[in-house]
Structure 1
């Protein structure tokens, strides 16, 4: 199994290999670079393994990406006019992302349309 974490010493993502159940060994496999600048908050992360293992990551709305874990290839970058800080993000399915901004705005993105802007969702009160 693979495990992805974010945090110190920088804003990169760390990929770990978790050994079989009869062992407590966790070893570092690789590091994935992120678009977060120095001093930015740690990336929020979500994973999807329906295809090759993917990690959705970003700390701001205009820096959301999907990276294929094994190849380290960037497979999607969200287009956004805003740079709001994210409080969370998730895969709704293998093509749709939900992005939650710290100020309460919810946004949807469809990765099948990479050039389309991330759209805000109206939430009924």
Structure 2
């Protein structure tokens, strides 16, 4: 007996309000059926990227949408890039950052709905010069 083929992808709808990132309108699409509830169980990667001391550095976080981002991942991000975050994979806030950086959301099996603040699953944060 042959295993049935499952058609699967994520539909990310990411919004940003100041330093808060919200994925609550995102969905998982399995065999053509979209579900916010299935997205809540998703595990996906976020890649943070910044120029630190003249070198491009990346930090990958593996998060679950409905769970808090683990302390180890947050500490690693702060140590490597100087970015401090808090929250869950569904909604988190950038508390502080030392330099400009970007976040790229998982592109594997993913489709992105562009919003005013997020294009192709990528968000940019710019340090204001005073």
- Range class of TM-score, shorter chain: under 0.3
Please report the TM-score for the alignment, with normalisation by the length of structure 1. Answer: 0.26
More helix by share: 2
More strand by share: 2
* Largest Rg, 1 or 2: 2
Higher relative contact order (CA 8 A, sep 6+): 2
Please report the TM-score for the alignment, with normalisation by the length of structure 2. Answer: 0.25
